[in-house]
Chains A and B, each alone.
Chain A
């Protein structure tokens, strides 16, 4: 897993970042959250959910446009579930049915956000502390208290949660 460049800002820059984040994601006003990394367009939320900070992941029709771990490329929840079910040789993610976003010791969870048309828009990963980490497109990655922090008009709702056992 790569480590993104840590965000160093002064107080006024931090206020500006917080104002932007709460404008983009109003649910964050009700949560404890913070921006963690410098903005970086070289990886996106899907890569970050998978622990990759050097690649842009997306099931674009043309394989030249972005990396995708499986041959099937389609912007559907089924394709994302299939991909995260096969990104490792062992201990891959399985869908939690019914969805349970609460922290479970011994498991790492990722949440898939879908828009009103059921199209994937975002992914977040739960850390061992129980809080969630999200890479916001090409901008910062942030820590947010619950999966609901980045729900809203931009990313839709966290609908699917997958988990994998960790040592």
Chain B
């Protein structure tokens, strides 16, 4: 009860700057130390999901995904698609790319399955769905929902 009252008090004092704070915390790659002038206290704030993408990562992903799509449009080779520099750069982004890939898969489709497998270190696609992209997409989107990415 006391904890709730203290939390409400802090929240009320920080409310005027809460959107700026949210933006700062979302963009920060490390925890932020916030000083509450009115209360005279310091608070350590961090992103709830340490792997959430920053705005810069989101823009980078968007650019790389656009380049990749354009360059592999006429390719039938899964191997060549995977070896494309933009795809490799997305793989190198690691965990922050995961929600972005799932979002892209849900909105625009795409052959994101290797990236999803490697970054998440899991595979929700049963062997009988291999190559059936519609089913593979559905499997991954369901996995994304279950794990809070979508």
Chain A residues engaging chain B, CB cutoff 8 angstroms: 24, 41-42, 44-46, 54-58, 60-68, 75, 121-122, 135-139, 154
Are B130 and A63 interface neighbours, CB within 8 A? yes
Are B78 and A56 interface neighbours, CB within 8 A? yes
Asked if A61 meets B79 with Cβ closer than 8 Å, knowing A41-B111, A138-B72, A139-B74, the reply is yes
Are B113 and A138 interface neighbours, CB within 8 A? no
Are A57 and B131 interface neighbours, CB within 8 A? yes
Q: Does B107 contact A (CB under 8 A)?
A: no
Chain B residues engaging chain A, CB cutoff 8 angstroms: 72-79, 82, 109-111, 113-114, 117, 123, 125, 127, 130-134
- Which of B74, B127, B131 has a CB less than 8 Å from the CB of A56? B131
- In the assembled complex, which residues on chain A have CB atoms less than 8 Å from the CB atom of B77? 58, 75, 121
Contacts across chains A and B counted by CB atoms under 8 Å: 73
Are A66 and B131 interface neighbours, CB within 8 A? yes
- Of the A-B pairs whose beta carbons lie under 8 Å apart in the complex, a sample of 22, sorted by A's number, is A41-B110, A41-B111, A54-B132, A55-B132, A56-B78, A58-B76, A58-B79, A58-B131, A61-B79, A62-B114, A63-B130, A64-B125, A65-B78, A65-B82, A65-B113, A65-B131, A67-B130, A68-B131, A121-B77, A138-B73, A139-B73, A139-B74
Are A44 and B76 interface neighbours, CB within 8 A? yes
Distance (Å) between the CB of B124 and the closest chain A CB?
11
In the complex the two chains form, what is the Cα distance from A68 to B77 in whole Å? 12
Are A42 and B78 interface neighbours, CB within 8 A? no
Are B78 and A54 interface neighbours, CB within 8 A? no
- In the assembled complex, which residues on chain A have CB atoms less than 8 Å from the CB atom of B113? 64-65
In the complex the two chains form, what is the Cα distance from A157 to B72 in whole Å? 19
Distance (Å) between the CB of B40 and the closest chain A CB?
57
In the complex the two chains form, what is the Cα distance from A122 to B76 in whole Å? 7
Distance (Å) between the CB of A142 and the closest chain B CB?
11
Asked if A75 meets B79 with Cβ closer than 8 Å, knowing A41-B111, A64-B125, A67-B132, the reply is yes
Distance (Å) between the CB of A37 and the closest chain B CB?
14
Nearest residue, chain B, Cβ from A155: B74
- In the assembled complex, which residues on chain A have CB atoms less than 8 Å from the CB atom of B75? 137-138
Q: What 8 A-B pairs have minimum CB-CB distances, sorted nearest first?
A: A67-B131, A44-B76, A137-B74, A58-B78, A60-B78, A42-B133, A55-B131, A66-B131
Nearest residue, chain A, Cβ from B126: A64
- Which of A45, A54, A55, A65 has a CB less than 8 Å from the CB of B76? A45
User: Which interface residue of A56, A57, A122 has the most chain B CB atoms within 10 A?
Assistant: A56
Are A42 and B134 interface neighbours, CB within 8 A? yes
Distance (Å) between the CB of A143 and the closest chain B CB?
17
In the complex the two chains form, what is the Cα distance from A20 to B56 in whole Å? 33
Nearest residue, chain B, Cβ from A44: B76
- In the assembled complex, which residues on chain B have CB atoms less than 8 Å from the CB atom of A57? 131
